């Protein structure tokens, strides 16, 4: 098959596909060129940057395109239902990056608790202001509320419990056997009211922010918000207002409403720890994603 890789992929996995006789083309296409390009391939592999929408699928109708693979967990950058209605299957790699994203969320929790981001930036500007960062706090003994307790949420929950934290989880699906004295499922309002950290791990729901002025008002005073899910899950204006007022102590953000991020006031806020959407960007995760993609293509039957 002819396989288009638009946003990069593990080199070992691409070599495997070529050894199996597939033609692999690594090329990014701008949105106005993507639909036409898809007509020349049997499979397209995307990450977060490439968005495969209905107009692209319309342009690819009647061609050889049979399969779209999202190298990652969420598939909200693909119009899945429309693709499948038009005979194009959609697959993802849900198991590969869970540990990496969970560790990224945990890293932001530590950064916010101990001023790691802002203190490091100050030192690089030749500012030794030890007193300003002397009121950090330990994560041990604190409560983390995990919104969306799927693979990533569960991975974070296990790591948090190992650090001596309590976990409150909210999800529309409850997995049996996970609850214990340090982890329990609760309703959203209870989670917001009792969590020192609130970490979001849900897909985007109709592009509407899950964390907005109303939900922030229900959060514990001085809580820290962590978002490694989707940027539009958080109302950035409401978050910035809560940080300015002191309602929230800080925020750890790996994703933004617009990427590359343009909300400089939020990025520059002293108690915000931010990274450029690198939650799954570990060597280990990329190898696992590549291996899953190879497996999907190997076992694919049109």
Q: Largest Cα–Cα distance in the chain?
A: 66
Q: What is the CA radius of gyration of the chain?
A: 21
Any catalytic annotation for residue 22?
Answer: no
Q: What are phi and psi of 211, to 5 degrees?
A: -100, 110
Of the chain, the end-to-end C-alpha distance in Å amounts to: 11
With contact defined as beta carbons under 8 Å apart, do 174 and 150 qualify?
A: no
Catalytic site includes residue 47? no
Task: Read off φ and ψ for residue 28, nearest 5 degrees.
Answer: -90, 140
CA of 168: how far to CAs of 115, 180, 219, in Å?
Answer: 24, 11, 13
Given 138, 213, 259, 265, the catalytic residue: 259
Identify the residue whose tokens are 């020192």. 196
Q: Is 230 marked active-site? A: yes
Interatomic CA distance for residues 302 and 292, integer angstroms? 18
**Residue 173 CB partners (closer than 8 Å, separation 6+):** none
3-class DSSP state of 64: coil
Strand arrangement of the beta sheet that strand 23-26 belongs to: 23-26, 2-5, 43-46, 67-70, 89-92
The active-site residue out of 230, 236, 249, 288 is 230
Catalytic one of 236, 277, 288, 292: 277
Burial 115-130 (b: 16+ CB within 10 A, else e): bbbbbeebeeeeeeee
The 3-state DSSP class for residue 234 equals: strand
Query: Annotated catalytic sites, by residue?
Result: 230, 259, 277
């Amino acid at each position: 098959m002819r396989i288009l890789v638009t946003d990069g992929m593990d080199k070992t996995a691409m070599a495997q596909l070529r050894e199996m006789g597939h033609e692999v083309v690594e090329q990014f296409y701008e949105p106005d060129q993507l639909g036409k390009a898809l007509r020349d391939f049997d499979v397209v592999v995307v990450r977060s940057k490439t968005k495969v929408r209905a107009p692209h699928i319309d342009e690819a109708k009647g061609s050889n395109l049979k399969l779209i693979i999202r190298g990652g967990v969420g598939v909200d950058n693909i119009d899945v239902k429309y693709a499948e209605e038009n005979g194009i299957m959609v697959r993802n790699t849900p198991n590969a990056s869970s540990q990496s994203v969970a560790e990224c969320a945990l890293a932001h929790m530590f950064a916010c608790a101990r001023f790691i981001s802002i203190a490091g930036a100050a030192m690089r500007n030749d500012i030794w202001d030890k007193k300003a960062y002397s009121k950090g706090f330990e994560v041990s003994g604190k409560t983390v509320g995990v919104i969306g307790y799927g693979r990533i949420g569960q991975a974070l929950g296990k790591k948090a419990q190992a650090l001596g934290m309590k976990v409150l989880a909210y999800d529309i699906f409850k997995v049996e056997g996970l609850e214990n004295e340090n982890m329990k499922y609760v309703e959203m309002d209870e989670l917001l009211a009792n969590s020192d950290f609130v970490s979001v791990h849900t897909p985007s729901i109709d592009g509407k922010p899950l964390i907005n002025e109303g939900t922030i008002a229900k959060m514990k005073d001085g809580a820290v918000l962590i978002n490694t899910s989707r940027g539009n899950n958080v109302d950035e204006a409401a978050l910035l207002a809560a940080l300015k007022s002191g309602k929230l102590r800080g925020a750890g953000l790996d994703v933004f409403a617009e990427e590359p991020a343009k909300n400089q006031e939020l990025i520059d806020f002293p108690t915000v720890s931010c990274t450029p959407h690198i939650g799954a960007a570990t060597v280990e995760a990329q190898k696992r994603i590549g291996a899953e993609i190879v497996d999907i293509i190997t076992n694919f039957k049109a």
